Amino acid sequence: MDHSAMADMGGEGSGTSRLPANEAMNHGAMLGLGGDANLMLHGFVWPVYTDQTGPRGDDKLYVQSMGMATMTVPFEGGRFMARTMMSLEPLMRHDGYPNLFATGEIAYGEPIVDRQHPHDLFMELAARVDIDIAEETTVFLYGGPVGEPALGPSAFMHRSSARYNPEAPITHHWFDSTHITYGVATAGIAAKRFQLEASTFRGREPDEFRWNIEAPKFDSWSVRGSFAPAPAWLVQASYSEMKEPEAQHPGENEHRTTASIHYNSGNGLSAMGAFSAKKAVEDHDDHDLVDADAHDGTLTAWLGEVSWDIDTRHTVFGRVENVANGELFPDEFSPLHEEVFRVTKFQAGYAYRLPLGPVTLALGGTAAAFAKPNALDAVYGDNPVGYTVFARFSLGD
């Protein structure tokens, strides 16, 4: 089964996730390796300047980057695929770039708050084998020392609805924080309209030292179902139980449930709506799991994204997020420590595309505003806002 045949069964997202079959971005350079084998090269370099206002805001000029290589080798009755993704974002400071109300992971021994951490050097180092069992139906195995388990929607930088947004969602650690995981093994069945899969993987998120490959483990699990009723649509639901994902919460496991619906018209309009709920549970020595007091129950998040290519040059896009976050005040001496605050972020952006031979240059920017409880005014200001300007150089879309 060749790569195009697999695409007919559903768009391929990050890891083993699915996207609408209409999600057909230009994936860069395709090189023949002899026979039916081929190598796809894709990537971007993305200089960004951001200014986040208010007492907790900051400004920064930084560069995001990703390089991806995918080798596909069809064989009688199936397909083998090896994929690697790498980034030079470890050149940033460990605490990454300013992003108001974003939380998750550790830098310089402290929890990251109001910033987004950089990606690791190795974002993926994995392989997949598909074996035909019926017409347009395969069973598959996926895994490697760095990969993505069957959990949540496709990671934000791989879905068309977010491709020109330079900021990670503030709900990243509700939906797709597991897209870089050290140690993943996934098995599933895939057909044109559905996919069912299960993973075992390391629950702990990457540490702040981004250049190395951390020791793989298999201490967590997830299951995911995807359904494609038509080429324009993809629905997924997933559930996971993760072992101590956050270093700042030792002894605390997480149960995460996600659901999302994706749309791609095939003619420039793409969108996603998603919901997630994560529940912290304490891991006792006797493995009896009980509700963790720290987060006072389940924390939920909503996310909506849209991107519209008006024509071959102009794109407008936007994102709306609503999240209940209990990690905005990690200092245990703060009177607001572990208080849960529900915050909404509204973001709109524009990109102008200019082809430069095999490279596409996208020039643009975004503006963001927030709705938050009045109790946060003293530390965030009455009306904090965020701005970005960027120049995105990509091989492919």
Residues 169-190 as b or e (16 or more Cβ within 10 Å = b): bbbbbbbbbbbbbbbbbbbbeb
Burial (CB count within 10 angstroms: exposed 0-12, middle 13-18, buried 19+), residue 45: middle
Q: Lowest-pLDDT range, 67-76, 81-90, 247-256?
A: 247-256
How far is Cα 389 from Cα 49, in angstroms, rounded to an integer? 5
Pull the structure tokens for residue 320: 């709306």
The DSSP code sequence of 81-125 is EEEEEE--GGGS-TT-EEEEEEEEEEETTEEEEEEEPPPPSEEEE
Q: Between 292 and 317, name the one with better pLDDT.
A: 317
Q: What pLDDT is recorded for position 103?
A: 95
Spatial CB neighbours of 296, under 8 Å, sequence gap ≥ 6: 326, 338, 340
Question: What pTM does this model have?
Answer: 0.90
394 band by pLDDT with thresholds 50, 70 and 90: very high
Q: Residue 328 has what pLDDT?
A: 94
Task: Read off the pLDDT band of 2 (50, 70, 90).
Answer: very low
Q: Tens digit of pLDDT for each residue in 130-142?
A: 999 998 899 999 9
Dihedral, 178, 183, 187, 192 alpha carbons, nearest 10: 40
What kind of fold does domain 3-395 have according to CATH?
Porin (2.40.160)
Burial of 61 (0-12, 13-18, 19+ CB in 10 A): exposed
Please list, in sequence order, all residues whose beta carbon lies within 8 angstroms of the beta carbon of residue 359, skipping any fewer than 6 positions away: 393, 394, 395
Q: Average the pLDDT over each of 9-18, 225-234, 291-300 and give the range with the smallest value.
A: 291-300
Amino acid in the structure at residue 330: P
pLDDT grade for 186, boundaries at 50, 70 and 90: very high
- CB burial of residue 301 (10 Å; 0-12, 13-18, 19+): buried
pLDDT of residue 86: 97
Q: What is the mean pLDDT of residues 182-186?
A: 97
Check pLDDT > 80 for residue 285.
Answer: no
Tell me how far apart the alpha carbons of residues 276 and 63 are, in angstroms, rounded to a whole number.
29
Query: pLDDT tens for residues 302-352?
Result: 999 999 999 999 999 999 999 999 999 998 888 888 899 999 999 999 999
Domain regions of the chain by residue span: 3-395
Rounded Cα distance, 37 and 328, in Å: 49
pLDDT of residue 9: 56
Q: Residue 30's pLDDT is what?
A: 81
Report whether 125 contacts 145 (CB < 8 A).
yes
Q: Give the model confidence (pLDDT) of 9-49 as tens digits.
A: 567 899 999 999 998 655 678 888 888 899 999 999 999 99
Q: Which two tokens stand for residue 271?
A: 């969108």
- How many angstroms separate the CA atoms of 189 and 206, rounded? 29
pLDDT at 7: 43
